[in-house]
Amino acid sequence: MSPIIQSLLLVTAQVIVLLTVSPFLVGLIRKVKARFQCRQGASVFQPYADLAKLFRKQPVISTTTSWIFTATPYILFASTLSAGLLVPTFTTQTPLNFAGNIIALVYLLALGTFFLILAGLDAGSAFGGMGSSREAIIASLTEPAMILSIFAIALTAGSTNLSTIVHKTALLEGIATDPSPHLMALAALFIVALAETGRVPVDNPATHLELTMIHEAMVLEYSGRYLALIEWAAGLKLAVFLSLIANVFAPWGIATTLAPTTMGIGLVVYVVKIAGLAVLIGVIECMFAKLRLFRVTDLLGVAFILALLGLLFFYILRS
Amino acid sequence: MHILLIALCLCYALGLVLPFCVPRKPQTQGIVGSVCACAASLIGITLGLSGLLASEPMTAIVASPIPLLAFAVRLDPLASFFVLTISLAGLAASIYAMGYLKEFHGRVSVAALAALTNGFLLSMTLVVIADNGFFFLIAWELMSLASYFLVVTEHEKADVRYAGFFYLVMTHVGTAFVIFTYLILFQSAGSFSFDAFRHPGQSLPEGMRTLVFLAALIGFGTKAGIVPLHVWLPYAHPAAPSHISALMSGVMIKTAIYALIRVYFDFLGGQFPWWWGFLVLLVGTLSAILGVMYALMEHDLKRLLAFHSVENIGIILLGIGAGMIFQTYGLKEFAALGLLAGLYHTINHAMFKALLFLGAGSLVYATHTRNMEEYGGLLRRMPWTGLFFLIGAVSISALPPTNGFVSEWLVFQTLFLSFQFPDLFLKLMLPIAAAILALTGVLALACFAKAFGISFLALPRSAHARHAEEVPVAMRIGMGILALLCVGLGLAPMIVVPLLDRITGPLTGVSISDKVLALDGWALAPVNMEFSSVSPPMLAAMLILGGLLGLALAFLFGGHLVKRYYKTWGCGINLSPRMEYTATGFVQPIKRVFSTIYQPTIKLETEFLQESRYFAKQRKFEFHIEPVFEKYLYDPVVHIFMRIADRLRILQAGSLHLYLAYIFVTLVVLLLFAV
C-alpha cells in the first residue's frame, strides 16, 4: 500500500470514528444523569435519532441575519473536526500529526468559537448576545490554563505535537519518576475540558433558562440542518477533549503500530476509555450545582494555578 | 537598484509638488497625489524585494556641506524588509485614498493632505534606509512632523488639536532619547556613520552600553507605543484621516521596531546580559495584555484599533525579547527564531492593522460616526467592506489559517523553547509569558467578535447605519489588496520564512531557514518535526474539506430543503435595535472579572415618577474606566512642569526694555565665552 493511500485511509478512519462516537458520548452522559435522577432515561443512541430528525427538518432562518449565520455551522463543524484530526484517537499513527501541534488545536477551536459568538449576535435577540458575551469571557479564562497544562505535559515528552506526546508516553519513554506534575496538569485540563465543552458546573447543556444558559443561548435561533451540525460539532468537541485527556494521560492500549490486531484492540480500548470519562462527567454533573457565572472565574483560576504548579514541580523534580 | 531608489524619491517628490499645481480642483489634486504615491510604492516593493534577495547590500552616499552629516543610504536585508512593508501598506493606502479623499473636499486642503501623505511615506522610507545617524534623525523628525500635520488635518475640532499636541510632545520626548542614544554612540565612534557605530558599539564600556540600551528602549519605545509610553497612541492615531491612521498604526510604529533591532543586534553586536532581553520581554508582555484590555472597553472603533496596535507591538517585542535572551545564552538558532517570529508578526500586523483601519475608515465614510453603538447590520449594506473587515478581524485574532496565526504560533514556539535555559527563573517566566500571550489572543478574539458583531451584524442601531451605502471601488480595491496579503502571508510561510532568514541570518550569525521549514516548506517546524510543527496550507485544506463534508452530510441525511425566513422571536413583541446586546453590554462580564485593572466607575441615576417608585421617568447611566497611566504617571509630571513654567513666567513680564536687557546680557555672556 502506498503511503498516501495508507494516510488517506487512516484519516478517513479517524473522521468516521470521531463522527460516530461523539453522539454516543452525549447520549451516555444523559443516560448516566437520568439514572442518578432515578429515571429510565432515553437510550444512549437517542442523539443519533435526534440528529437524523434535525437534518430532515426544514430550517427557519431569521430575516435579521446575514450570511455569517448560515456559514457558521459549517465553519464550526469544519474547525472542530480539523481539531479532532490533530488528536490521536485509537492509534498514534495520525498522518496529520505534522499539520499542527497543541497550539494549532487551541486556535482551531477558537476559530469555531469566534464564529459562534458572531452567530449569536447576528439574529439580534438579547439571548444570543448574552450567550456570546458569556462565551467570550469563559473562553478567555480557559485558554491560559489550557496552554500551561499542555506545556507541562509537553515538557516530559519533549514535544508539543499530540501524537508524538502520546506515542512516547505509550512506549513509556520520558515518564517522570514522580507523576505529580502530570496529575496537576491532568486536573487543570479536566477543568478546562468541562468549561470548554459547556458542562456543569460552568454551563448546563440541559437547560433553556435565560439566566444560566451560555452555549444554548448562542444557538437559540438555529433549527434544522444548521442545528444538527452545531449539535454534532458540540459532541465532536467533547470527543476531542476526552480523547485528549484519555490518550495523553493514559495512552495504554493505544495502537502504536499499523498491525490490524493492535488497531482493533486500540479501537476497543479507546471507546472504553472515553466512555469511562463520559460517565465521570455525568456523575460530576449530578454531584455539583452549576456555578454562578462570576464564580466560574475562581474555578478556572484554580485550573491555571494547578497547571503552573505542575510546571514548577516538573522543573524542581528534574533539577 | 540605484535607479530604483532615485525613481522612488522622484515619485514621492513629484507627489509633494504636483497636487499644488492643480488649484481649485480637489478631486484632481487627490488623484495626482495618490497616483504618485502608488507609483513610488510599486517601485518601493520592487526595491525592497530586490534588496532582500541581493547578495550584497546596496549603498549610496551623497556628501553634504554640513559637517558630520552625509546622505548615506544602505539597503541591507533588514532595511529592505521594512521598505517592502512600508511600500505594501503605502500602495493599499494610496489606492484607497483615491476614493476616500472625497470625504475631505471643501473642508480641508486636499492638495496639502495628498502632498503630506507623500512626504510621510518618503520620510518613513528614508528612516529605514538611512546609514548615517544625523541623516536618520532628520528623517525621523520629518516623519514625526509629517504625521503630526496629518493628525491635525481636521484641526477645527478641539479634540483633534489636543491629540495632535499630545502626540507632538510625546514624540519629541522620544526623539530626545533617540538623540541621546546616538550621541553616546557618536562620542566613542567619532562619526555619525552607522559603520562607525557598529565597531565601537561592541567595545563600549558596560555602563555605556546599558545606557544605550535603555535610552533606545525609551526613545524608540515611545514611537512604538509600548506600555507605559503608549498614552499618546489612542489619541493621535484615530484623529488622523483613516488611510493615515492605517499608515501610522500599520507601519510608522514599525520603524521603531526597525531601529530597536538595528541598535541592539547591529550596533551593539547582539551581545547583552540576560536582563536586557527579559526587560524587553516584560515590556512586551505588559503592552500585549494591557493593550488588548483597554481595547476591549473602547466603543470608538478607531480608538479600539489604536489600542490593538499597542497589543501587537507587545507581541512583536515578545518574540524579539525572547530572541535576545536566547542570544545571551548562546542559543543562536533560537535567537534567530525569536527575531524571525517578531519580524513575521511585524509585516503581518502592518497588513491586517492597515486593513482594519481602512475598514474603519469606510465605516466612518458611510455612516459619519466612529461610535460602534450607532452601527449595526452593516454587512448587508456594505458586503465587501464587511468581508474585508472580517478577514482582518480573523487575522488579528490569530485564527488559522491567516497570517496572524502563523506569526503568533512562532512566538509561542520561541517561548516554549525556554526549557533550554539553565536558569529556573527564566524557565518559569517564559511559559507564564506564553500563558499571558494566550490570554491576549483570546481577549483579542473577544474584542474583534465585539467589533465585527456589533458593527456589522443584527439590526441597524441608528439612522446613520440604516442609510449606509457601500464605499467606492477605489476604497474596496485598497482593502482587497491587504485582505489578499493577509491570507497569502498566512498560507505561504515557505516563501516568507526564507526571506526573513536573510535578515536574521547576518544579525545572529546562523541561518535557520532549513531548520524551520520542513516537508519541502509545507510545514513549519522550529528545531525539529518531533518538537512542534504546523502546516498552514494543510490546515486550510482541512477546514475547506471539513466544511464540504458538513455540506455533504446535510444533503445526504436531509436532501434538498427549502429554507424558510421569518423574523427573530422577540418574546411577543417586534424586535427592535434597542433589544440587541450593545458593545458595552457585551464586554460587561470581562469588565467585571478584570475590575482590578479597569477600576471602573459606574454611575446610575434614576428619576422616578412622582406617583410611584416602581416606574422610572428617566435613567442616566455613566461608566468610565480609570486611565491609570495618565492619572498616576503623566499628570504628576505635567503638574511639575506647569509649576516650573509658572515660576518662569516672571521672566516674561511684557516689558520691551526688559527683553532688550536680556538680549544685551546674553550678548555679553557669549562674548565673554568667545574671549
| Minimal Cβ distance to A66: which of B379, B413, B586 | B379
| B377 domain residue, yes or no | no
B-contacting residues in A 11-30 (Cβ below 8 Å): 15
Q: Which three cell numbers stand for residue B369?
A: 460616526
- Model confidence at A30: pLDDT above 80: yes
Flag if A103 and B534 touch (Cβ within 8 Å). yes
Alpha-carbon torsion (A297, A300, A304, A306), positive or negative? positive
Ranges of residues in chain B whose predicted pLDDT is under 50: none
What does the alpha-carbon distance between residue B322 and residue B426 come to, in Å, rounded to a whole number?
Answer: 10
Chain A residue whose CA is closest to B418: A155
Flag if B590 and A315 touch (Cβ within 8 Å). no
AA identity, residue A307: A
Angle CA(A9)–CA(A237)–CA(B451) in degrees, nearest 5? 120
Flag if A75 and B543 touch (Cβ within 8 Å). yes
Flag if B409 and A114 touch (Cβ within 8 Å). no
Distance from CA of residue B28 to its chain's centroid?
30
What does the alpha-carbon distance between residue B470 and residue A233 come to, in Å, rounded to a whole number?
Answer: 35
- Per the prediction, chain A carries an average pLDDT of 89
DSSP B565: E
pLDDT score recorded for residue B200: 65
Q: Which three cell numbers stand for residue A167?
A: 506515542
- Model confidence at A203: pLDDT above 90: no
| B603 domain residue, yes or no | no
pLDDT score recorded for residue B202: 63
| Minimal Cβ distance to A99: which of B398, B535, B544 | B535
| B661 domain residue, yes or no | yes
pLDDT score recorded for residue A18: 95
DSSP B618: E
| B56 domain residue, yes or no | no
Q: Is B399 on the interface with A (CB under 8 A)?
A: yes
Chain A nearest-CA distance from B423, in A, is 10
Flag if A66 and B457 touch (Cβ within 8 Å). yes
| The model's pTM | 0.94
A-contacting residues in B 354-383 (Cβ below 8 Å): 377, 379-380
Flag if B428 and A311 touch (Cβ within 8 Å). yes
| Minimal Cβ distance to A114: which of B377, B386, B397 | B397
Q: Which residue has the higher pLDDT, A1 or B578?
A: B578
Q: Is A212 on the interface with B (CB under 8 A)?
A: no
| B664 domain residue, yes or no | yes
Interface test with A, best of B443, B450, B586 (most A CBs within 10 A): B586
Flag if A123 and B588 touch (Cβ within 8 Å). no
pLDDT score recorded for residue A173: 56
Look-up: residue for cell 529592505? Answer: B80
Q: Cα separations (Å) of B389 from B299, B333, B352, B393, B488? A: 16, 36, 9, 6, 16
The total number of structural domains in chain B stands at 1
- Dump the DSSP string for B274-324: HHHHHHHHHHHHHHHHHHHHHHHT--BHHHHHHHHHHHHHHHHHHHHHHHH
Contacts of B518 in chain A (CB under 8 A): 98
B-contacting residues in A 233-292 (Cβ below 8 Å): none
- Model confidence at A1: pLDDT above 70: no
Domain residue spans of chain A? 3-318
Flag if A140 and B443 touch (Cβ within 8 Å). yes
Q: Is A8 on the interface with B (CB under 8 A)?
A: no
| Minimal Cβ distance to A148: which of B431, B561, B588 | B431
SS3 of residue B60 by DSSP? strand
Angle CA(A211)–CA(A215)–CA(A220) in degrees, nearest 5? 80
Q: What's the complex ipTM?
A: 0.95
Q: What is the pLDDT of residues A126-135, one digit of tens each?
A: 889 999 999 9
Is the distance from CB of A164 to CB of A256 less than 8 angstroms? no
Give residues with Cβ within 8 angstroms of A67, minimum separation 6.
Answer: B379
- Model confidence at A264: pLDDT above 70: yes
* Confidence tier at A202 by pLDDT (50, 70, 90): confident
Pairs of CB atoms within 8 A across A/B = 285
| B254 domain residue, yes or no | no
What does the alpha-carbon distance between residue B626 and residue B600 come to, in Å, rounded to a whole number?
Answer: 6
SS3 of residue B496 by DSSP? helix
Flag if A140 and B439 touch (Cβ within 8 Å). yes
Q: Is A164 on the interface with B (CB under 8 A)?
A: yes
| B635 domain residue, yes or no | yes
Q: Is A78 on the interface with B (CB under 8 A)?
A: yes
What does the alpha-carbon distance between residue A121 and residue A111 come to, in Å, rounded to a whole number?
Answer: 16
Look-up: residue for cell 488517506? Answer: A8
Contacts of B561 in chain A (CB under 8 A): 56-59, 224-225
Strand A60-62 to B601-608 pairing: unpaired
Flag if A225 and B554 touch (Cβ within 8 Å). yes
B217, B225, B13, B21: which is closest to B123 by C-alpha? B13
Cα atoms in the 13 Å half-sphere on the side-chain side of B406? 36
Contacts of B535 in chain A (CB under 8 A): 98-100
Chain A residue whose CA is closest to B405: A107
Is the bond leading into B228 cis (omega within 30 degrees of zero)? Answer: yes
Q: Is A195 on the interface with B (CB under 8 A)?
A: no
Flag if A126 and B581 touch (Cβ within 8 Å). yes
Chain B residue whose CA is closest to A159: B531
Chain B nearest-CA distance from A263, in A, is 23
